[in-house]
């Protein structure tokens, strides 16, 4: 049994409970993660980041709480404490993905989306990974997607030579056609960064989502990201989703338009071939 005094002490300050042991948790590429064993018998998860951007953890906590407001919606870990330098959550014990869990997750995600949002955007900006995420509302989804989700990150990627100028032009032209391509629907309550790594397959068929970049947007954004990076049992998730909230015809053919955003963000964060991949998808819509 090990105990990192500095980490344990910070957790004790915030929780008001003694920390018996700590253990590093692998997997994150932004924050340092630690598993905490508390004197109460509970297990918790602490993530911390030296010189975190302003409100970095507070925004994450707010997103988790916003998603958790929905009755029978997607499950989130309990927010036990948050401060400018760290976030402490209830621990989620994971297991293998199963069909029953996938179906339950699909129905829960549909209910979360249907809970809706007041605006296209949010009343505060957030983060996607370690990048700032502008959420200032705009009147339509088409405007919001182009101006808040595509153009700012394309500009960064081109300036850093992470996306070729020609590829950026194709991506921007495709994104400008969202109003023609995507069905008009009310704003959904989005997780906003719903890739496989942010979906935890918990015990007793309870699927838990983490690390949101939550805002009001088109529900096909979350579905596009699940499809882009792959999710175990995805057909079962989607079949159950449509039981609760049927999608407009040809939704699978449209997913590419909303996959442009995570691909451009990945280009900004990791470089590689993400920009070219986004441009290849965008070609289908121009």
Sheet containing 79-83: give its strands across.
19-25, 32-38, 43-48, 86-90, 79-83
Tokens representing residue 160 in the block: 């850093």
Torsion, Cα of 144, 146, 150, 155 (10° steps): -110
Specify the residue for token string 């927010």. Answer: 79
32 vs 248: CA distance, rounded Å: 41
How wide is the angle at C-alpha 62 spanned by C-alphas 58 and 68, nearest 5°?
A: 145
- What does residue 199 show for φ and ψ, rounded to 5 degrees? -115, 115
Contact 74, 108 (CB under 8 A): yes
Q: What is the spatial distance between Cα 266 and Cα 139, in angstroms, rounded to a whole number?
A: 27
Q: Which of 193, 211, 222, 250 is catalytic?
A: 193
Q: Which residues contact 22 (CB under 8 A, 6 or more apart)?
A: 2, 3, 4, 7, 8, 34, 35, 36, 37
d(CA 101, CA 84): 34
Q: Does 193 participate in catalysis according to the annotation? A: yes
Cα–Cα distances (Å) from 149 to 33, 64, 95, 229, 279, in that order, read 28, 21, 34, 18, 15
Are 218 and 146 contacting, i.e. CB atoms less than 8 angstroms apart? Answer: no
Active-site positions read 193
């Amino acid at each position: 049994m090990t105990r990192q005094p500095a980490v344990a002490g910070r957790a004790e300050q915030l929780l008001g409970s003694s920390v018996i042991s700590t253990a590093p948790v692998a997997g994150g590429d932004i924050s340092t993660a630690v598993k905490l064993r508390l004197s109460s018998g509970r297990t918790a998860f602490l993530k911390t980041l030296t010189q975190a951007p302003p409100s970095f953890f507070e925004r994450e906590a707010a997103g988790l709480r916003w998603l958790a407001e929905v009755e029978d919606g997607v499950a989130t870990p309990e927010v036990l404490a948050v401060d400018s330098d760290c976030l402490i959550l209830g621990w989620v014990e994971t297991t293998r993905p199963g069909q029953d869990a996938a179906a339950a997750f699909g129905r829960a995600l549909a209910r979360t989306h249907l809970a809706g949002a007041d605006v296209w955007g949010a009343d505060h900006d957030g983060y996607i990974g370690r990048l700032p995420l502008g959420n200032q509302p705009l009147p339509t989804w088409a405007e919001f997607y182009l101006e808040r989700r595509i153009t700012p990150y394309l500009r960064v990627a081109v300036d850093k030579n992470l996306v070729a100028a020609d590829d950026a032009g194709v991506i921007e032209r495709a994104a400008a056609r969202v109003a023609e391509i995507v069905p008009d629907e009310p704003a959904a309550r989005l997780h906003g960064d719903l890739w496989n790594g942010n979906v935890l397959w918990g015990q007793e068929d309870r699927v838990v989502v983490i690390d949101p970049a939550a805002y009001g947007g088109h529900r096909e954004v979350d579905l596009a990201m699940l499809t882009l990076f792959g999710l175990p049992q995805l057909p079962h998730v989607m079949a159950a989703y449509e039981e609760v909230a049927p999608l407009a015809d040809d939704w699978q053919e449209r997913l590419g338009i909303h996959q442009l955003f995570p691909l451009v963000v990945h280009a900004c964060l990791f470089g590689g071939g993400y920009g070219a991949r986004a441009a290849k998808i965008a070609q289908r819509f121009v």
